């Protein structure tokens, strides 16, 4: 998704054509090749050998995110993003981090609606250490009550920082809660406050056993290694971990929307803010790439349609962005706008709809369509130039699209999008009865969200 605030600089856009030209020649002859092995317990290992630098990137994708939760335990996937750094059997609290640091590496993790991903970046000589530590926390994660309570405060603090005390964060949470009535994308990845306060040790143990097992994991290693060596170490470290049942299917789907929904959030703020979202598709849908191209046409760069019309031309908005969700279940296409001082958000909103109507009646011309595709393809190849970016791309292709080979198909799929495809998805999804509009209204009298609510825990700094 395009960020609301950072915009692509003109000089970068001019450079994109040169980047793409370079990759155009390269990509036709340099498809990514991955070696694959599935252990008897169901864990999948993907290796892409790259000897250009003496390092590795190891990304472990667990197919568990906030969509696998339910009311009462929302936010648990994100909690395990934190808990997996708090000690197991062979590596106590902080010892994995210290060992990686001593080996010249580092690590991190992230959570979204569909996955939890752990990332290690190290010199290639640290491969045995990384796999030993990752297998330890998969099999032997510790649930020490004092550590759980300490981490609960950290997670609560993160929620207050990024959602409660953030105007964009609060507005996005309200938008998604209004747009989704039945699907689990209704609740935030970080979790509802009362659920964060209420998780029990039994909740944590059950959720870890359900989601963080070998059969639900895909490990991607890119870098200066031999695939046979990786498979041998993985067999030793992970092969003896018993297989668990994979998470139950997510049965609840979003109900069709039958009319526009609107929500207002009143908070202290300098300026209004508005998010407009339409229900669209999952990543496997044939309409996913046309929507991605539509996103680029609308807001990528200062030559994009909405930027030229609303920021430069009519000077109604300070910033504008858009994006199509990359999700396993149908996601949202969202446009975000911040009006200039003195401009009502409704005036900018009307101008956005007017620009969309222009695109409905007159198809995008060949040059504009080509520019949008080039921007997307150039970004894809830029991301894959690092071993970390390639590990991320291979893992996403395998987990979200069903096979790592999708990495090699993306350019073809993007280039296949036509002007008629863009018009079709615009007319199919971006319609009034399918949209939700969330507006942040500046209100100096609104309750200060930074004030701790009675009964809620105080968290330390993240």
How far apart, in whole angstroms, are the C-alpha atoms of residue 157 and residue 149?
12
pLDDT at 129: 98
Cα–Cα distances in Å, from 174 out to 276, 333, 367? 12, 16, 38
pLDDT at 58: 98
DSSP code per residue over 334-384:
EEEEEEPTT--HHHHHHHHHHHHHHHHHSPPPHHHHHHHHHHHHHHHHHHT
DSSP character at residue 160: I
DSSP strand pairing (116-123 vs 317-324): unpaired
* Sign of the Cα pseudo-torsion (377, 383, 387, 393, in order): negative
pLDDT at 401: 96
8, 311 Cβ separation under 8 angstroms:
no
pLDDT tens, the chain, 462 aa long: 333 332 223 333 333 333 333 334 344 446 899 999 999 999 999 999 999 999 999 999 999 999 999 999 999 999 999 999 999 999 999 999 999 999 999 999 999 999 999 999 999 999 999 999 999 999 999 999 999 999 999 999 999 999 999 999 999 999 999 999 999 999 999 999 999 999 999 999 999 999 999 999 999 999 999 999 999 999 999 999 999 888 999 999 999 999 999 999 999 999 999 999 999 999 999 999 999 999 999 999 999 999 999 999 999 999 999 999 999 999 999 999 999 999 999 999 999 999 999 999 999 999 999 999 999 999 999 999 999 999 999 999 999 999 999 999 999 999 999 999 999 999 999 999 999 999 999 998 886 555 554 444 333 322
pLDDT at 444: 85
pTM of the model: 0.90
How far apart, in whole angstroms, are the C-alpha atoms of residue 204 and residue 180?
26
Residue written as token pair 């008629």 = 420
How far apart, in whole angstroms, are the C-alpha atoms of residue 246 and residue 71?
20
């Amino acid at each position: 998704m395009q960020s609301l605030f950072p915009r692509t600089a003109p000089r970068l856009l001019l450079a994109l054509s040169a980047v793409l030209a370079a990759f155009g020649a390269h990509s036709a002859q340099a498809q990514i090749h991955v070696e694959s092995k599935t252990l008897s317990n169901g864990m999948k290992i993907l290796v892409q050998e790259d000897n250009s630098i003496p390092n590795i990137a190891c990304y472990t994708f667990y197919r568990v995110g906030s969509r696998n939760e339910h009311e009462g335990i929302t936010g648990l996937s994100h909690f395990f993003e934190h808990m997996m750094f708090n000690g197991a059997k062979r590596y106590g609290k902080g010892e994995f981090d210290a060992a990686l640091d001593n080996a010249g590496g580092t690590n991190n993790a992230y959570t979204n609606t569909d996955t939890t991903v752990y990332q290690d970046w190290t010199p290639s000589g640290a491969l045995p250490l990384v796999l030993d530590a990752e297998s330890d926390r998969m099999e032997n994660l510790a649930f020490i009550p004092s550590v759980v309570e300490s981490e609960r405060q950290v997670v609560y603090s993160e929620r207050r920082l990024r959602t409660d005390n953030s105007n964009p964060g609060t507005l996005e949470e309200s938008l998604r809660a209004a747009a989704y009535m039945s699907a689990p994308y209704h609740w935030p990845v970080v979790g509802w406050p009362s659920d964060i306060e209420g998780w029990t040790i039994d909740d944590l143990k059950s959720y870890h056993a359900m989601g963080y097992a070998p059969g639900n994991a895909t490990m991607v290693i890119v870098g200066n290694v031999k695939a046979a060596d990786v498979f041998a170490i993985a067999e030793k470290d992970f092969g003896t971990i018993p297989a668990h049942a994979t998470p139950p299917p997510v049965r609840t789907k979003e109900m069709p929307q039958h009319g526009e929904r609107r929500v207002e959030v009143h908070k202290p703020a300098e300026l209004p803010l508005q998010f407009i979202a339409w229900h669209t598709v999952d990543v496997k849908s044939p309409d996913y790439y046309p929507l991605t191209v539509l996103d680029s046409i609308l807001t990528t760069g200062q030559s994009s349609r909405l930027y030229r019309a609303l920021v430069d031309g009519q000077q109604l908005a300070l910033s504008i962005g858009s994006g199509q969700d990359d999700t396993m279940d149908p996601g949202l296409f969202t446009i975000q706008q911040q009006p200039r001082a003195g401009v009502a958000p409704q005036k900018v909103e009307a101008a956005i709809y007017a620009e969309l109507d222009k695109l409905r009646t007159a198809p995008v011309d060949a040059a504009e369509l080509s520019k949008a595709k080039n921007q997307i393809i150039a970004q894809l190849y830029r991301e894959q130039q690092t071993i970390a970016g390639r590990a991320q791309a291979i893992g996403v292709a395998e987990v979200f699209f069903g096979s790592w080979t999708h990495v090699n198909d993306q350019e073809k799929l993007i280039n296949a999008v036509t002007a008629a495809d863009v018009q079709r998805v615009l007319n199919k999804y971006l319609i009034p009865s399918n949209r939700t509009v969330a507006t942040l209204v500046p209100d100096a009298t609104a309750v200060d969200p930074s004030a701790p609510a009675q009964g809620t825990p105080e968290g330390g700094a993240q």
